[in-house]
Structure 1
Amino acid sequence: MNAFSKLTLAVVMAAASSLAFAQDSHAGQGSAHAGHEAPAAAELTEGEVKKIDKDAGKITLRHGEIRNLNMAAMTMVLRVKDAAMLDQVQVGDRIRFAAERVNGAVTVVQWEKAQ
């Protein structure tokens, strides 16, 4: 390996190391701020109940954009955090809800009836 190749390799490795350090040092900053926000501060998405499946613990919603999950507006089946939540709504109800990924599945974690 000639001197130029060694120098190039050293520069690339130093740059990669610096990038990894920068990402690592910023990784904890978001979580530090997240702990100060109350769960109720989550942005709620407008939705309409289309179907309720109490046995499966799922609800079909026609909803607007779910920004925290980077999901476009659509109609889809979602899990609910607690099956008892399904007793609070009926098909046709308009709700405002918060969803998160729980064990890989999009899950409604809270909601309120829309006025």
Structure 2
Amino acid sequence: MKQAVVSVLMGAALAFPVVSYAAGEMSTMDMSGGETQNADANNAMSHGEIKKVDAANGRLTIKHGPLENLGMGAMTMVFKVKDPAMITQVQVGDRIDFVADEVGGALTVVKLQKR
């Protein structure tokens, strides 16, 4: 019996430093689950050039670089605009920075600024 107690105590004594070491090593790890990265990706501006303005339908055709938040590569495509006032801010040939997102099932420019 005495030997069993000694064995348990020795096991606990050896386990404590290992657990402490592992916890110390994890103290510098980012445990946010990538939420900060996702937020940054969602707010990151993409770069593009206006190819067509369709004021009647509230749409812009934009030749753009990668859309990181949507996982899309560079291409030319048509986007709705969240705010109709965006249409009046740009014209064909303007270089822009913008954020696009899926709104109601449609790719939509939610933030726009001229470069």
State how many pairs are aligned: 80
Larger Rg: 2
Deviations 1:20-49 (A, max 9, x none): xxxxxxxxx77xx57xx69xx810000000
So what's the TM-score if we normalise by structure 2? 0.64
Instruction: Tell me the distance in 1 between the aligned counterparts of 2:92 and 2:73.
Output: 22
The equivalent of 1:102 in structure 2 is 103
1:88 aligns with 2:89: yes
Q: Does 1:51 align with 2:52?
A: yes
| Amino-acid identity (%) | 50
**Could you say which residue in structure 1 is the equivalent of 2:24?**
none
CA apart distance, 1:84: 1.4
Aligned-partner Cα distance in 1 for 2:50–2:101: 18
- Aligned-residue offset at 1:83: 1.3
Q: Distance in 1 between matches of 2:54 and 2:44?
A: 25
- What is the Cα deviation at residue 89 of structure 1? 0.5
Query: How far apart, CA to CA, are the structure 2 residues paired with 1:85 and 1:70?
Result: 24
Structure 1 distance, partners of 2:73, 2:84, is 25
**Residues in 2 aligned to 1:64 and 1:109: alpha-carbon distance in whole angstroms:** 16
- In the alignment, which residue of structure 1 is the partner of 2:113? 112
Which residue of the partner structure matches residue 65 of structure 2? 64
Structure 2 gaps of 5+ residues are: 1-31
CA distance in 2, matches of 1:60, 1:48: 9
Give 5+ residue unaligned stretches, structure 1: 1-28
Q: Supply the RMSD in Å over aligned alpha carbons.
A: 1.9
